[in-house]
């Protein structure tokens, strides 16, 4: 199963568990269901971000390399300024 599909399944299962917890009056089940649904949503977002990154790298690899180097340089500069 792909990450996107796993996310959809986890989100649906979490929403069902949340609804069951609401019917049964079990707050722990509701929290667990909400957490599982949020985890499913985050898996879907991660899969979407990976697809966007993959497309960007295949379309313009030098631009992505330059942006990555710039981000690394800025992160290093910020880290060095904090260390001092």
**Cα dist. 58→4, 45, 66, 71 in Å?**
21, 20, 14, 19
pLDDT in tens, 40-74: 999 999 999 999 989 988 999 999 899 999 999 99
Quick one: tokens of 5?
């599909």
pLDDT(10) > 80: yes
The pLDDT, as a whole number, for residue 84 is 64
CB atoms within 10 A of CB 2: 9
Domain ranges for the chain, please list them.
Answer: 3-59
What is residue 69's three-state secondary structure?
helix
pLDDT(32) > 70: yes
CB atoms within 10 A of CB 4: 16
What is the pLDDT of the chain when averaged over all its residues? 92
pTM: 0.69
């Amino acid at each position: 199963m792909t990450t996107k599909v796993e996310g959809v399944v986890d989100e649906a299962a979490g929403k069902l568990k949340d609804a069951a917890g609401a019917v049964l009056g079990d707050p722990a089940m509701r929290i667990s269901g909400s957490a599982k649904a949020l985890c499913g949503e985050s898996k879907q977002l991660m899969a979407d971000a990976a697809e966007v990154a993959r497309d960007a790298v295949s379309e313009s690899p030098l631009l992505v390399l330059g942006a990555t180097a710039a981000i690394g340089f800025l992160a290093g500069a910020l880290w060095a300024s904090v260390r001092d």
